[in-house]
Chains A and B, each alone.
Chain A
C-alpha cells in the first residue's frame, strides 16, 4: 500500500508540471463552460425547458473519453522511453504496486478536474428555479467518477504496452471508443448477443442509469470490474515485458 501511495503521489504531482495535463484541463473547462452557456441561453428563450445537470454531465463523460488517453499516454510508456522504468523495476516495488500506483495518480488528477467542474452545476443551481435535482447530480457525478476510473485503467494498461506516447494515445482512444459504441448493433442481433454487447458497453452503463438518477449495483460492479481487469492486465504486461 505504501509503495502504491508513493508512486501515485509522484504521478499526481507530475501532472501539475505537464503541459498536456494543463491543456486537457483547459479544454474541459472551456468546452463545458461553453456548453453550459449555450444551455442557459436556450433555456432563457424556451419557456417550458428547464436545464438539469445532465447538460453538463453527458458531454463531460464524452470529453473524458477523448482526453483520458492524453492524460494516461505517458504513464508507463514514458518511463520506458526515458529508461526510468529500469529504476522502478529494480526498486523493491512489486509490479502490480507500480501499475496501481500509476493508475491511482492519474485517476486522482482526473478526479481533481471533475471536482473543479463542480463549479458549473453550482452555478446552474443558482440560475434555475427551484434549483438542481441534487440526487440526480450526485448520482451523475458518481457515474462519471466510476466510468473515468475504468477509462484511466485502460489507458494505463495500454501505456504499459508501448514506449511511444502517441501510439499509446491512439490505442487507448480506439479501445475506449469501441467499448463506447459496442452496443450499437445490439438491436439487430439476437437477444443473448445483444445483451452481452450492452453489458460490455462503457456508455450504456452510464447513460441508462447514472445519468438518469438511478444507481444500479450492476453498473458499479461493471466499472469496478473493468478497472480491476485492466490493472491486472497491466501488471501482467509489466511482468511479461521483463522477460523479453
Chain B
C-alpha cells in the first residue's frame, strides 16, 4: 500500500531524513517510533503530499506522491501533529468544509456519521475554540476519516491527551485499523506495542530497526551485545571472558577484539573488565555494539515528563 524507497529530505543544509526505505502492506497498523526530531513528521508530510522529498520516491496505492499528488491526497486521510483547525468555525461547519473539499456525496450525513464515530455528535454545533484538547484531537481524527481513506496517517495522535483520552484514541485507532491501513507516529514505546502490528524505529532521520513490537521488545531488553578490544592476541582472553558470570556466549571478531553476549538484565561489563585486567591484559575498549538502539530505547521507554507550566508561554513566543 505504501512503498518508500531511498527517501531523503534536506532542510537547507540539515538532513531531516536520510535514505528511508520501507513497505507497508494493506491492513497493517504501523507505528513510526522515534525520539523527537527523528524525522517522523517529515516523512509523513512527504507521504501526504504536503511537501516533496529531496531524493527518493514514495508511492501510496500505486500513486507517486509527486507525480500523482492529487490522487494520493484523495486516498489518504491525515491528521497533522498540531491538529490544525479553524477555531472560529463550528465543528459541523469545519467538517462540512473539509468534506466539500474532498467532494463527498451527502456530506451532511457523512459528517454526522464521523462525529458519531468519534463521540462528538453532541458538539456538532459548538465552536471549535470552545473544545478541549482531547475533543479537538477527535475532530482532527474525524476530519481524517471523512472520505473513508484507504490509508490513514496520524502524526502523534495521542500527544497532549489525558490518560483516559489516550486509551480512547488508541482503541479508536485499533478499530479503524481493521478496515484501513494506518501509519501513526509516536515517541512512546508502550503505545506502539498496544496499537501497532509493526514498528519502524527512526533515529536521526534513519531507519534503525523494523520489527513487530514483541520481537523488538525482546531484542531491546534481551541479550546485550558488547564488544571488547585489547592489546595483544584476543584468543587468550576468550576463555577468560566466557568464564565470567553473566556472559552467555563469546565470539572472537578479529585479531584484537571479540563480542560477548550477556544475559538479559545483567551488565557483565565491570566483571569482564576486572577479569581481563587482573589477568594482565591491556583493555582498550569495552562497548555496547547496539548502543544507538539502546539509547533510543531508553528515550522511548522513559516516562513522559510532566508538562512544565511555562510551556504555553514558550509556545506563544515561538509562534510569534
Partner-B contacts on A (CB < 8 A): 2-3, 6-7, 10, 14, 17, 81-94, 242-244
Contacts and interface: CB of A to CB of B under 8 A. Distances in A.
A84 B87 CA distance: 10
Contacts of B73: 90-92
A107 B70 CA distance: 27
Interface in B74-101: 74, 76, 78, 80, 82, 84-88, 97-98, 100-101
Contact of B103 (A2, A10, A90): A2
Contacts of B319: 81
B98 A87 contact: yes
Interface of B: 11, 45, 48-52, 70, 73-74, 76, 78, 80, 82, 84-88, 97-98, 100-103, 143, 319
A91 B98 contact: yes
Contacts of B78: 90
A113 to B, nearest CB: 20
Given A94-B70, A243-B51, A243-B52, A83 B82 contact: yes
Contacts of A242: 50-52
Contacts of A3: 101
A81 B315 CA distance: 12
A6 B104 CA distance: 12
A82 B83 CA distance: 10
Given A3-B101, A88-B101, A90-B80, 7 more contacts: A17-B88, A81-B319, A83-B82, A86-B80, A91-B73, A94-B70, A242-B50
Contacts of A89: 49-50
A113 B11 CA distance: 43
15 contacts: A6-B100, A6-B101, A7-B101, A14-B86, A14-B88, A17-B88, A81-B319, A82-B84, A82-B86, A90-B50, A90-B80, A91-B98, A92-B102, A243-B51, A244-B11
A178 B284 CA distance: 72
A17 B97 CA distance: 16
Contacts of B102: 91-92
A84 B49 contact: no
A93 to B, nearest CB: 6
Nearest to A81: B319
A87 B102 CA distance: 11
A91 B101 contact: yes
Contacts of B11: 244
A64 to B, nearest CB: 25
Nearest to A3: B101
B106 to A, nearest CB: 16
B100 A84 contact: no
Nearest to B11: A244
A84 B98 CA distance: 11
Find the residue from B73, B76, B88, B101 having the highest chain A CB count within 10 A.
B101
B50 A10 contact: no
A243 B51 CA distance: 6
